[in-house]
């Protein structure tokens, strides 16, 4: 009996042919995932089932000249998980990031995703995951836009104009039929100009590069934040439109009022509880807080100025309880998204199945018959 | 400018052609790794740099009929790391295990290893890691045999006769030039008979299947323990040869005297400290202890019956400080090995480089030029 079972390798072009760039479809799939998160039909890493993943953390300095040391956006991370529903698959996203990549003509992060048979552990698919990952990262705030922002919103501010916020804007735009005007802000004006050009041509919107952050924010009903860790944004709450929906997909520095006075909706409460557990178990809790988007929020909770994480609302719960949505509209809402392997599994599974249907990719096999040890 | 950089896919047959089954060479490479561990020229997962890895933990029961539930040897684990020295490479081992695989003609675990450029994160090699992983798992106690056991030892007891202990015996035998007799014990006698046949033919030793554990142990100068988690072994300290070297690569239940009265040498102290940190941070410390080989040791430390982990000796330290070796010989020694990604990285790197030299494997590429997002 041969135990050979081919698995697929999908290069980036294969993933494109399989539809990885279809932002609208990705938003629908990610909305499904929020439903599964709320129901509990998933497992992420660790004994609490909710860890973001496990990184290789580079030290600030090292006596070993070859050892990588901490640098902008520099890390490796493994993000394992199981996702239920119609996906019903295990897998692991694994990536290395280094800001210095961009000077070499490479993306800041190089990502792959492996999908595995949940029963046997056999690989089903290894895929290039750069486009997959940015698509799902963009789709998550777009699901929030669909459910938390005003359906008539016509203006967006884009804070940080790299590939992540491009993916966010592309996905958010699919949810805003009245979108007319987009403000672009970046510490590098050329990046803002480039993204504005793309938006003008692709989305047909008024695209305005704005070098003053306060001005960029003042007219925006939706704000998407995804700036590099190289220099986090500093935002004052009173700069924001009174009914703005602020979608946070990257680190942000804001005054306390931003966290204390706005309605905060999390991507998934249990994920943030796991972040705090891991920070507590780490050698330096404050350093761990510094490394995650929710850090400023966790500090306010630790200080007793906000209720415990378990009392926060998350998006999956909003989707399942329409009554919670009535709370939106009359006030400012902040949505915090930190990245979860279940979104990679869902969108990766879609691309994998489409690739199978279209006959894309390179079949590989671990063995014809496993070596009889 | 094309940013295409091929990476290699190595199937199991490719790995065999590249020498993955060469136990003696693997022992030498793993000894190098113990040196790097002692020097600190490595990073494993997590902020403490010493985590074994991150698992997807299946629950005991689930309201979702498709969700995998806990079962014998059933888990997925990601094991990321960086290894320095001449290896100087990042990577991640990722595997799924399920005891039920064996009934399907599959290995209990299906493993892959990805090696990555430490600077850019680009994949260098994806390889089938079943043979690689069992070779390094066997080589680790063989390094301990080289440095902790009597060079004249002529007898070994093999407790648990599955593929892991076969790899252990194969590697340990390379370190015992006077090996004459091997006792085989397994709760399934057929497994013991099969491994005994192999040892008789391949190692040219007297191979004795022994159904009574105490008898199997009484004459053995070296004991290798790698039984399945399905039914851990129960050992009494006074059954052991007074100068036995006991090499533990799988769960064992022993009386307290086994831990309290023997010299205990760990694979790597910092790994065990990380296990304890993770158990403390987990929802159930005792359950976490139950899931790791060192659990019984950690309980005795918690109870104040053994000194703190930091006061234990590990093998890398023994290698660096020959004076510590003088302590061996006159008493029983227990060596505990739990598995570290750095051994996978080292042996994987060797196989990868050999495969490159021999022109083995299938070249793959993520892209010709990354999609300009």
A&B contacts, CB < 8 Å: 269
Partner-chain residue, chosen from B47, B121, B373, that has the shortest CB–CB distance to A283: B47
Between positions 126 and 145 of A, the ones with CB within 8 A of B are 126, 128, 130-131, 134
For A265-283, the pLDDT digits (tens) are: 999 999 999 999 889 888 8
The verdict on B286 touching A (C-beta cutoff 8 Å) is no
A10 and A351 Cβ atoms separated by less than 8 Å? yes
Considering only CB atoms, A122 lies closest to which of B110, B118, B131, namely B110
**Chain B residue nearest residue A21, CA to CA:** B373
Q: What is the pLDDT of residue A327?
A: 52
How far apart CA A181 and CA A219 sit, in angstroms, is 9
Q: Closest CB to A81: pick one of B1, B48, B56.
A: B56
**Per-residue pLDDT reduced to its tens digit, A287-326:** 999 989 999 999 999 999 999 999 999 999 999 886 655 4
**Cα A353 vs. chain centroid, distance in angstroms?**
22
Decide if B110 touches A, using CB distance below 8 A. Answer: yes
Q: B373 touching A, CB under 8 A?
A: yes
Please check whether residue B155 touches A, CB under 8 A: no
Other beta carbons less than 10 A from residue B86's beta carbon: 13
Q: Which domains does chain B have, with CATH numbers?
A: 7-133+342-364 (3.30.1780.10), 148-339 (3.40.50.720)
Q: Do the chains contact at B112 and A120, CB–CB below 8 Å?
A: no
CA distance to partner chain B, nearest, from residue A85 (Å) = 8
Measured between alpha carbons, how far apart are the two ends of chain A, in Å?
A: 16
User: H/E element holding B183?
Assistant: strand B181-185
CB B199 within 8 A of CB B166: no
| Closest in B41, B46, B90 to A54, CB measured | B46
Q: What are phi and psi of B318, to 5 degrees?
A: -60, -45
pLDDT, average across residues A344-361: 98
| Residue A1 confidence (pLDDT) above 50 | no
| Residue A94 confidence (pLDDT) | 98
Would you put residue B156 in left (φ > 0), alpha (ψ -120 to 50) or beta? beta
Is A51 an 8 Å CB contact of chain B? yes
User: Nearest 5°: phi and psi at A59?
Assistant: -75, 160
Judge whether residue B138 has pLDDT over 80: yes
B364 to A368: CB separation less than 8 angstroms, yes or no: no
Supply the pLDDT for residue A2.
55
- Across the interface, whether the CB atoms of A120 and B109 are under 8 A apart is answered no
Q: What is the CA radius of gyration of chain B?
A: 21
Residue of B107, B113, B112, B114 whose CA lies nearest to B73 = B107
How much of chain B, in percent, has pLDDT values that exceed 90? 88
Lowest-pLDDT choice from A283-297, A328-342, B28-42, B63-77: A328-342
Contact in structure between A346 and A28 (CB atoms under 8 Å): no
CB-closest option in B84, B122, B166 to A67:
B84
Measuring CA to CA, which residue among B214, B212, B186 is closest to residue B199?
A: B186
Average pLDDT over residues B78-87: 98
Question: CA–CA separation, B35 vs A245, rounded Å?
Answer: 54
Non-local (6+) Cβ contacts of A103 within 8 A are none
Look at A185-194, A206-215, B324-333, B357-366 and tell me which has the smallest mean pLDDT: B324-333
pLDDT of residue B1: 46
Length of chain B (residues): 373
Q: Is A32 on the interface with B (CB under 8 A)?
A: no
pLDDT band at residue B4 under the 50/70/90 scheme: confident
ipTM entry: 0.94
State whether residue A9 sits within 8 Å of chain B by CB.
yes
- CA nearest neighbour of A194 among A224, A170, A225, A163: A163
Put simply, whether B276 touches A (Cβ < 8 Å) is no
Contact B12 A367 (CB under 8 A): yes
Give just the sign of the alpha carbon dihedral A79, A85, A90, A93: negative
Q: Is a pLDDT exceeding 80 seen at residue A222?
A: yes
Contact A107 B12 (CB under 8 A): no
- Residues A173-198 have a mean pLDDT of 96
Tell me the per-residue pLDDT of B187-238, one tens digit each, with 9 for 90 and over.
Answer: 999 999 999 999 999 999 999 999 999 999 999 999 999 987 767 688 999 9
B67 has a chain A CB within 8 A of its CB: yes
pLDDT at B329: 53
Q: What is the pLDDT of residue B323?
A: 61
Q: What does the mean pLDDT of chain A come to? A: 94
d(CA A275, CA B207): 52
Rounded distance between C-alpha atoms, residue B372 and residue A228, angstroms: 18
Q: Do B105 and A54 touch (CB under 8 A)?
A: no
d(CA B197, CA B203): 10
Express each pLDDT in B286-325 by its tens digit: 999 998 999 999 999 999 999 999 999 999 999 988 665 5
For A125-148, how does the pLDDT look when each residue is reduced to its tens digit (9 = 90+)? 999 999 999 999 999 999 999 999
Give a three-class secondary structure readout of chain A: CCCCCCEEEECHHHHHHCCCCCHHHHHHHHHHHHHHHHHCCEEEEECCCCECCEEECCCCCCCCCCCCCCCCCCEEEEEEEEECCCCCEEEEEEEEECHHHHHHCCCCEEEEEEEECCCCCCEEEEEECHHHHHHHHHHHHHHHHHHHCCCCCCEEEEECCCHHHHHHHHHHHCCCCCCCEEEEECCCHHHHHHHHHHHHHHHCCEEEECCCHHHHHHCCCEEEECCCCCCCEEECHHHCCCCCEEEECCCEEECHHHHHHCEEEECCHHHHHHHHHHHHHCCCHHHHHHCCCCHHHHHHHHCCCCCCHHHCEEHHHHHHCHHHHCCCCCCCEEEECCCCHHHHHHHHHHHHHHHHHHCCCEEECCCCCCCCC
Residues A78, B80: C-beta atoms closer than 8 Å? yes
Q: A-chain residues within 8 Å CB-CB of B107? A: 370, 373
Q: What is the pLDDT of residues A47-99, one digit of tens each?
A: 899 999 999 999 999 999 999 999 988 999 999 999 999 999 999 999 999 99
């Amino acid at each position: 009996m041969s135990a050979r079972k081919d698995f697929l390798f999908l290069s980036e072009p294969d993933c494109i042919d399989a539809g990885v760039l279809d932002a609208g479809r990705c938003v629908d799939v990610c909305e499904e995932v929020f439903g599964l998160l709320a129901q509990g039909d998933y497992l992420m890493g660790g004994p609490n089932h909710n860890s973001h993943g496990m990184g290789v953390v580079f030290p600030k300095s090292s006596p070993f000249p070859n050892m990588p040391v901490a640098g902008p956006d520099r890390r490796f991370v493994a993000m394992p998980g199981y996702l239920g529903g119609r996906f019903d698959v295990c897998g692991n996203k694994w990536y290395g990031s280094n800001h210095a990549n961009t000077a070499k003509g490479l993306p800041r992060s190089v990502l792959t995703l492996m999908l595995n048979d949940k029963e046997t552990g056999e690989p089903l698919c290894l895929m290039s995951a750069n486009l997959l990952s940015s698509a799902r990262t963009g789709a998550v705030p777009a699901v929030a836009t669909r459910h938390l922002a005003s359906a008539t919103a016509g203006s967006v501010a884009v804070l940080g104009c790299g590939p992540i916020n491009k993916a966010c804007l592309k996905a958010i735009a699919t949810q805003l039929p009245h979108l007319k005007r987009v403000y672009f802000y970046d510490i590098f004006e050329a990046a803002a100009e480039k993204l504005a050009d793309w938006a003008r041509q692709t989305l047909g919107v008024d695209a305005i590069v704005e070098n003053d952050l306060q001005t960029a924010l003042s007219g925006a009903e939706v704000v998407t934040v995804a700036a590099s860790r190289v220099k986090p944004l500093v935002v004052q709450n009173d700069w924001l439109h009174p009914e703005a929906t602020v979608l946070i997909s990257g680190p942000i520095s804001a005054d306390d009022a931003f966290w204390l006075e706005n309605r905060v909706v999390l991507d998934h409460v249990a994920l943030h509880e796991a972040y705090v557990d891991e920070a507590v178990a780490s050698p330096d809790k404050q350093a761990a807080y510094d490394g995650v988007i929710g850090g400023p929020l966790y500090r306010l909770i630790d200080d007793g100025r906000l209720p415990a994480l378990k009392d926060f609302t998350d998006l999956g719960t909003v989707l399942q309880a329409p009554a919670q949505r009535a709370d939106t509209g009359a006030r400012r809402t902040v949505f915090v998204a930190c990245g979860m392997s279940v979104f990679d599994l869902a969108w990766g599974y879609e691309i994998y199945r489409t690739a199978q249907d279209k006959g894309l990719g390179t079949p590989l096999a671990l063995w014809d018959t496993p070596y009889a040890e």
